[in-house]
């Protein structure tokens, strides 16, 4: 009896196991497709916007000519050294606006440091054609500085690997100052001097350079500018004895400069991306029913 009961129990267990295994074989397994996650939105470059700029550099200045009212009483005047300026530091800054990927403009203020000036002439009150009868020489020295205000417009010519060449032009005003003018006449043991004087002039500029995109907002600017600064003059020139019979400042005419500058531009609102990288992705996949395996 016990053996029969054990046999029936064993057959029952085997039967249940077989039924469960058969049920597992017959029940379909549902395989869900992967959950769709939308990609991030495409990156959109910020083109227009306000920016700040700053720069430092060096000037390389020239003077077209010198003139003094007393020159008119000299028959023969010869400049052995027509005069020139030493290099001087410049520093400036401004605010601008980018209109699109090619056009921008800014307003700048710049201080141009003191540049040393020197020149040498010889004169003859009576031009008799004899080079041995020169009456004397004048050795001129002075310093010159400026405040320069410009409204500028630029055209960016494109971008290659983050480098953007540009050209531009500007107009404005320059306050030219002559400091510590000296006129030393060595043969005649004469000295004259002029006080510091300033003069506002119309000014214009031509620009060219390269911008390098460091970040979306920050650009390194390496630039060159040709400047026409107008004229300048010293104070009234008087002798060391304080004598003077006429108002005779020394006039510095047609001042120009070749400037080389290094600066930065920072654009607000994310900055300008000259070569935007858009995220490419397929549209959302169409719905597919579950696959039964």
Quick: pLDDT tens for 230-286: 999 999 999 887 777 788 899 999 999 999 999 999 999 765 555 444 445 555 555
Quick: pLDDT tens for 46-56: 578 999 999 99
What domains can you pick out in the chain, each with its CATH number? 52-267 (2.40.160.20)
Nearest to 150 by CA among 112, 110, 181, 199: 110
Position 22 pLDDT exceeds 90: no
Q: Coil, strand or helix: which one is 136?
A: strand
Buried b (16+ CB within 10 A) or exposed e, 148-187: bbbebbbebeebeeeebebebbbebebbbbbbbbbbbbee
The per-residue pLDDT for 190 is: 83
- Phi, psi (rounded to 5 degrees) for 69: -60, -30
Give the predicted TM-score (pTM) of the model. 0.74
Confidence of residue 129 (pLDDT cuts 50, 70, 90): low
Give the residue with greater pLDDT, 78 vs 151: 151
The per-residue pLDDT for 58 is: 97
Position 88 pLDDT exceeds 60: yes
Confidence of residue 86 (pLDDT cuts 50, 70, 90): very high
């Amino acid at each position: 009896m016990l053996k029969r009961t054990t046999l029936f129990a064993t057959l029952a267990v085997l039967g249940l196991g077989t039924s469960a295994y058969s049920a597992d074989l017959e029940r379909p397994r549902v395989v869900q497709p992967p959950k769709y996650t939308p990609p991030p939105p495409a990156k959109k470059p910020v083109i227009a916007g306000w920016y700040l700029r700053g720069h430092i550099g060096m000037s390389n200045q020239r003077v077209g000519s010198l003139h003094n009212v007393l020159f008119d009483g000299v028959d023969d005047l010869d400049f052995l050294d027509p005069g020139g300026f030493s290099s001087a530091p410049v520093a400036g800054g401004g605010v601008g606006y980018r209109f699109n990927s090619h056009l921008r403009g800014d307003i700048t203020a710049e201080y141009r440091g003191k540049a040393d000036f020197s020149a040498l002439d010889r004169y003859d009150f009576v031009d008799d054609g004899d080079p041995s009868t020169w009456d004397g020489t004048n050795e001129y020295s002075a310093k010159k500085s400026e405040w320069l205000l410009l409204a500028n417009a630029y055209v960016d010519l494109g971008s290659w690997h983050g480098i953007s060449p540009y050209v531009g032009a500007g107009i404005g005003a320059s306050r030219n100052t002559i400091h510590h003018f000296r006129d030393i006449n060595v043969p005649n043991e004469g000295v004259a001097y002029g006080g510091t004087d300033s003069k506002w002039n119309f000014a214009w500029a031509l620009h060219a350079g390269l911008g390098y995109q460091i970040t979306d907002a920050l650009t390194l600017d390496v630039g060159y500018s040709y400047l026409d600064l107008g004229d300048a003059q010293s104070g009234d020139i008087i002798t060391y004895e304080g004598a003077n019979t006429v108002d005779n400042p020394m006039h510095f005419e047609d001042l120009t400069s070749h400037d080389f500058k290094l600066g930065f531009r920072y654009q607000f609102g994310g900055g300008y991306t000259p070569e935007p990288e858009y995220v490419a992705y397929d549209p959302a996949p169409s719905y597919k029913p579950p696959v039964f395996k």
